[in-house]
């Protein structure tokens, strides 16, 4: 009986890959667990602590890249999320990118990211809800 049930139950294909670029390990782990919990469609989540490391692997074309703007916790002169996004979008304009930032004066960044076809989400209490809604759109759910 269970065999037939398993055969005829429609399972969700795990086809999506997400890249998280975040140098705050607590935030990255929380985001990873949150996404895995809410999206059974996710095949894999890869985490990077620098934009440069993500850029090197962006040829894999993930469904979504979620990137923090300030990635200088470990390295003062590290490239910002925005500068990495510009490079990625030039190489592949179809990449779905979400830029996160805890900065309050972010108007310029949010306008610039919009120009490059990315989505800006402020790192506040609504951030995870907003990320969930945006990822749903990218997954076509």
Partner 1 sequence: MIKTKPNNNISTVCNFNYLSELMGGKIHLIKKIMDTFLVQVKEELESLNSAITEKDYTATKNLAHTMKSSVSIMGISTLQPILKEMESLGMETTCSDSYRDEKLSELNLNLNEICKKAFVEIENYSFS
- In the complex with partner 1, the residue whose CB is nearer, 58 or 110, is 110
For position 27 contacting partner 1 by CB under 8 A, the verdict is yes
Q: Which residue has the tokens 């667990």?
A: 33
Instruction: Report the alpha-carbon distance of residue 19 to residue 28 in Å, rounded.
Output: 10
- In the complex with partner 1, the residue whose CB is nearer, 24 or 83, is 24
Which stretch in 11-19, 43-51, 72-80, 89-97 sits in contact with partner 1 by CB under 8 A? Answer: 72-80
**Please, which residues have CB within 8 angstroms of residue 63's CB and are 6 or more apart in sequence?**
15, 16, 17, 18, 96, 138, 139
Q: b/e string for 73-90 if b means 16 or more Cβ within 10 A? A: eeeeebbbbbebbbebbe
For position 116 contacting partner 1 by CB under 8 A, the verdict is no
Contact 17, 63 (CB under 8 A): yes
| Residues between 39 and 68 with contacts to partner 1, criterion CB under 8 A | none
Q: Facing residues of 68 across strands? A: 100
- In the complex with partner 1, the residue whose CB is nearer, 21 or 95, is 21
> Which residue, among 121, 137, 132, has the nearest Cα to 35 in the 3D structure?
132
From the list 14, 34, 56, 57, which residue makes contact with partner 1 (rule: CB under 8 A)? 34
From the list 25, 57, 107, 126, which residue makes contact with partner 1 (rule: CB under 8 A)? 25
For position 26 contacting partner 1 by CB under 8 A, the verdict is yes
Judged by the rule CB under 8 A, the positions of this chain that interact with partner 1 are 23-27, 29-30, 33-34, 37, 70, 72-73, 76, 102-103, 123, 125, 128
């Amino acid at each position: 009986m269970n065999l037939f049930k398993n055969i005829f139950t429609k399972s969700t294909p795990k086809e999506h890959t997400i890249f998280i670029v975040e140098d705050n390990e607590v935030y990255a782990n929380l985001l990873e667990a949150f996404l895995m919990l809410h999206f059974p469609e996710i095949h894999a989540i890869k985490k990077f602590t620098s934009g440069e490391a993500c850029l090197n692997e962006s040829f894999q074309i993930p469904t979504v890249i979620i990137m923090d703007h300030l990635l200088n916790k470990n390295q003062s002169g590290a490239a910002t999320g925005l500068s990495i996004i510009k490079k990625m979008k030039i190489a592949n304009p179809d990449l779905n990118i979400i830029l996160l930032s805890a900065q309050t004066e972010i108007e310029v960044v949010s306008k610039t990211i919009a120009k490059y076809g990315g989505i800006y989400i402020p790192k506040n209490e609504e951030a995870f809800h907003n990320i969930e809604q945006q990822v749903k759109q990218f997954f076509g759910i």
